[in-house]
Structure 1
Amino acid sequence: MSSSARTGQTQPSGASGVITVPSTVEQLSPSRVKITVEVPFAELKPNMDKAYRDLASQVQIPGFRKGKVPPRILDQRFGRGAILSEALNDAIPDLYNTAVTDNSLSPLAQPEVEVTKLEDGEVVEFTAEVDVRPDFDVPAFDTVEAQVDAIEITDEAVDERLESLRARFGSLDEVDRPVEDGDHLTIDLVARKDGEVLEDANVTDISYEVGTGRMVDGLDEAVLGLSAGDSKKFTSVLVGGPLKDEEAEIEVTVKKVQVQDLPAADDEFAQLASEFDTIAELREDLKRELIQTGRVEQANAARDAVLEAIIAQVDADVPEGVLNTEVEARKEQINNQLAQAGLTLERYLEESDEEEDDDEDAPKDVESFWADTEKRAADALKAQMILDKVADDREIGVEQDELTQFIVRRAQATGVTPDQEVQHMLEHNHVSEYMGEIRRSKVLDLMMSAAKVTDSNGEPVELANLQADGSIADPAQAAAEADAEVSEDEESAEVIEESAEEADAKA
């Protein structure tokens, strides 16, 4: 294990700014250091005084007013060690943070702190071992190349969008005839096993479109030819609930038969459903919407592809302890979600495999699933290290209006008011987290603007001034729309700005 040391000057908690406290950093490995801080006892006086005040305000000792108990009495009653412990708990976090700053370290986890010397009245020494961001080189952004799928809008895709629009303006008309393919039914389903009704496998008044095959196998064949009021029994395998994959006798009762009456796809429908005069114009607009949606998906894919390309070129490993912590957290979250859904991981993978047969990269068994989880965690942490390093090296900061816009977007996404999001941020100490996200996003934008991104047809991908809806605006228009979005609610913006100032001060 390699080991090297360097020193810095750490400002003690509560110090006047004249006296400094030396700190030493020993490099235990490329991604782990040991910080040693030695503090003259006199520099802990503000923390000792605070510890005495806090204890005096909490206890009642006969002969003394509350809060006015002398330190020597508190030492006698509770022991000097308790006061020292409280003072150190108060002082060490600030001393550690300052040592980290003075020595230009980037911790990735909480430190393991140990008080190694405590000479009452003389000196205090503590060490802190912590995983830090290792040193590495990031490739020049303009050397990065990435490829994404081309946007291909087929006539069939436009037809599907048009059919969905026609369905919104269509109606369901009840008919008095036997069921045919494509009909819309209202049905009851009762499942039995060995003649006993399975209470957890029955539904009533459920809507079903014949031919979609989205319920139990054999249902489409069973209902064909039935009329309203008719029933039929068939055998099938249950597809959900606690009895999933159990074979049972299913009885279906048709209660209503309806056909969908869609308006003709003509100029009259175009005038009814849109601002266009002709169906050709409407189809062209639907195609434009599909292109815009495709641009957004393409831009998201490009961001992922560029970051993946940079990750592949960076020679650095995530510290093992940091990775293990992240993997365990992800495992716990996944297991909790599965438990809430009443699923085991094996069952979840089976169902996913059935639904995503075309996804060759999807994990097929438990072992490969957890291996994929660990790889995703490692890639995410490595990406975070890279983005943070670039932000630090380029001294990328966060402006107040950027924090304001970030809070507005989060509030819109979570369905709360901006001032409620601000209160959540402050109450849960998310200030540094939010600012970190903003800085990383700014770095990724820099990477995107410099990297060469092409589609699968070899054409360059237009990413400049891409709007959230997939349209492309000129720079002046984009800036104007951004300003209008932020100032939409002046009262909320004022609350956010005031809170942002407080957040900046805390950060």
Structure 2
Amino acid sequence: MQVSVENTSVLERRMTVGVPVERIETEVNKRLQQTARRAKVPGFRPGKVPMSVIRQRYEDSARQEALGELIQATFYEAVVEQKLNPAGQPAVEPKSFEKGKDLEYVATFEVFPEFEVTGLDTIAVERLEAEVVDADVDNMLDILRKQNTSFEAVERAAETGDQLTIDFVGKIDGAEFAGGSAKGTQLVLGSGRMIPGFEDALVGAKAGEEKVINPTFPEDYQNLDLAGKTAEFTVNVTAVAAPKLPELNDDFFALFGIKEGGIEGFRAEVRKNMERELRQAIKSKVKNQVMDGLLAANPIEVPKALLSSEVDRLRVQAVQQFGGNIKPDQLPAELFEEQAKRRVVLGLIVAEVVKQFDLKPDDARVKELITEMASAYQEPEQVISWYYKNDQQMNEVRSVVLEEQVVDTVLQKANVTDKKVSYEEAVKPVEAPKAD
């Protein structure tokens, strides 16, 4: 077998492969002999059909099958021989495909980039330090109470925070517009559900009152037909209800699965959950800084095949998440290219760190992570048992642990500074950079 390789770009390879005619004929004859044992030809008993008849009837199909399989087999042999690592399937172009002659074809494909991860000592990481104090727990209790607010009807003017039940009809230039009317809508004043000015105009309204208000749609409103226009809404207020926070009692605690221990038991459970959230938030922020640093220090070419595959995966995820009657390939690829490229590049870099530093998932950390995740459930032992009986889930946990070990490896060489902050700041999501 003759093989030659041409580098047509940083990652693309054009490989020419020549397969001797003797190997082709051996494969063709092997298939014809297999066919002869089972072929049913009128006038002949099974297995007794002359080879000349078999060849006349089946040689063309046997040759096509042999050539297809030979291309697959010799491509694999060739890339192993040339020490190439293809990223995706090759595009195969036959050059010589004639009977009685050597087979020659050209396979064009991309290879995985070869590189060494560098610049770990240039990566800067700010590691947050925080703890959950009593005031944080008090604040969380207030949040949980507000999330479970009920409303009671009142006979007074509406205030911010009250829930109104309203019927309304919206018009622009005297004509009703689609989506501008509703009946029996419950609206909490100050929630920001409606366009600016709508809720503010209803402060002071009473049950049974009709109000005409004139809010203006924002200039960047999603419906361009309404953007920037002033509407006239006729609003009938049918009920005003004031918020009522639940008491911190056994009934409230039971909503969160806490049936014993009273207020102290509930506070202890809330604190435990907050501490788990804090650990995860700090770990996530450190990881993001490490990954950003690895990307900046190691710019590499991305195989188009891997990028395309990742774009397709993100398309499928988007359809699954948002639903709708749309096929994944109907979503524009450019919507996902930036995210796909980041994922692919990071995947390649992380894999190279694992290889360079000979990292393997630490069994103790795997057990610790499973125990941590199981602690969020009422019967953690059952959750732990389920993980250890599920190979796919265990492999996913090992992947997470291995990624954590990559982060730890980078931190050993990176410029790390510790910063003490409040719980609130530590768990606050990092704001995405604003577009220019």
Fold shared, TM-score > 0.5 on shorter chain: yes
Cα displacement (A) at 1:230: 1.8
Q: What is the DSSP-based 3-state SS (H/G/I as helix, E as strand, rest coil) of the residue aligned with 1:202?
A: strand
Offset at 1:56? 10
Amino acid in structure 1 at the alignment position of 2:406: M
Match of 1:165 in 2: 144
Aligned residue among 288, 295, 312 for 1:311 = 295
Q: Which residue of 2 aligns with 1:292?
A: 276
* Per-residue CA distance 1:253-311 (angstroms, 9 max, x = gap): 212211122245699977997544456x7556534433321321222232232223223
Write the distance in 1 (CA, Å) between the matches of 2:136 and 2:54: 79
97, 106, 116: which one pairs with 1:137? 116
Corresponding residue of 1:87 = 66
Describe the shift of the 1:240–1:127 C-alpha distance in structure 2 as closer, same or farther (beyond 3 A): closer
SS in 2 for 1:198: strand
Note the 1:255-266 alignment, pairs <5 A.
Answer: 255-264=238-247
Unpaired runs of 5+ residues, structure 1, are 1-20, 343-368, 410-416, 426-433, 460-507
Residues 341-399 of structure 1 show CA distances to partners (whole Å, capped at 9, x for unaligned) of 89xxxxxxxxxxxxxxxxxxxxxxxxxx96x9655443333222223445566787999
- Pick one of 73, 77, 80 that aligns with 1:98: 77
Structure 1 residue 132: Cα displacement = 0.8
- 1:230 aligns with 209
Aligned-partner Cα distance in 2 for 1:184–1:455: 49
**Root mean square deviation of aligned Cα:** 5.1
TM value normalised by structure 1: 0.58
Q: What residue in structure 1 maps to residue 96 of structure 2?
A: 117
Q: Could you list the per-position Cα deviations for residues 126-177 of structure 1 after superposition, in whole angstroms to 9, with x for gaps in the alignment? A: 2212111232212386886533555476887645521232246653211222
**Percent identity of paired positions between Structure 1 and Structure 2:** 25
Over 3 Å counting, the alpha-carbon distance change for 1:266 and 1:446 in structure 2 is closer
Structure 1 counterpart of 2:114, one-letter code:
D
Task: Return the offset for 1:34.
Answer: 2.8
Give the AA of the match of 2:153: E
List per-residue Cα deviations over 1:66-93 (Å, max 9, x = no partner). 999877667767884x653333223322
5 Å-filtered alignment, 1:38-437, equals 38-44=18-24, 48=28, 80=60, 83-139=62-118, 146-151=125-130, 158-167=137-146, 170-238=149-217, 243-245=225-227, 246-264=229-247, 274=258, 275-278=260-263, 286-314=270-298, 316-319=300-303, 321-322=304-305, 325=308, 374-390=337-353
The count of residues paired between Structure 1 and Structure 2 equals 384
The alpha-carbon distance between structure 1 residues 146 and 61, as it changes in their structure 2 partners (threshold 3 A), is: farther
The alpha-carbon distance between structure 1 residues 380 and 45, as it changes in their structure 2 partners (threshold 3 A), is same
Counterpart of 2:13 in structure 1 is 33
Higher relative contact order (CA 8 A, sep 6+): 2
Cα 1:67–1:323 change in 2 (3 A) is same
Q: Within 2, Cα distance between the matches of 1:441 and 1:72? A: 62
Contact 2:15 2:108 survives alignment (8 Å): yes
Partner of 1:451: 410
CA contact (8 A) 1:188 1:252 kept: yes
| Mapped contact 2:87–2:306 kept (Cα < 8 A) | no
SS in 1 for 2:231: strand
Cα gap change, 1:49 to 1:152, in 2 (>3 Å): farther
Listed one character per residue, the Cα deviations across residues 434-489 of structure 1 (whole Å, up to 9, x for unaligned) are 98x88975653331232227876447xxxxxxxxxxxxxxxxxxxxxxxxxxxxxx
Greater mean deviation of Cα atoms: 372-381 or 26-35: 372-381
Question: Structure 1 pair 134/40, CA: closer, same or farther in 2 (3 Å)?
Answer: same
Q: CA deviation at 1:327?
A: 9.1
Indicate how the Cα distance of structure 1 residues 249 and 380 shifts in structure 2: closer, same or farther if over 3 A, else same: same
Give the TM-score normalised by the residue count of structure 2. Answer: 0.66
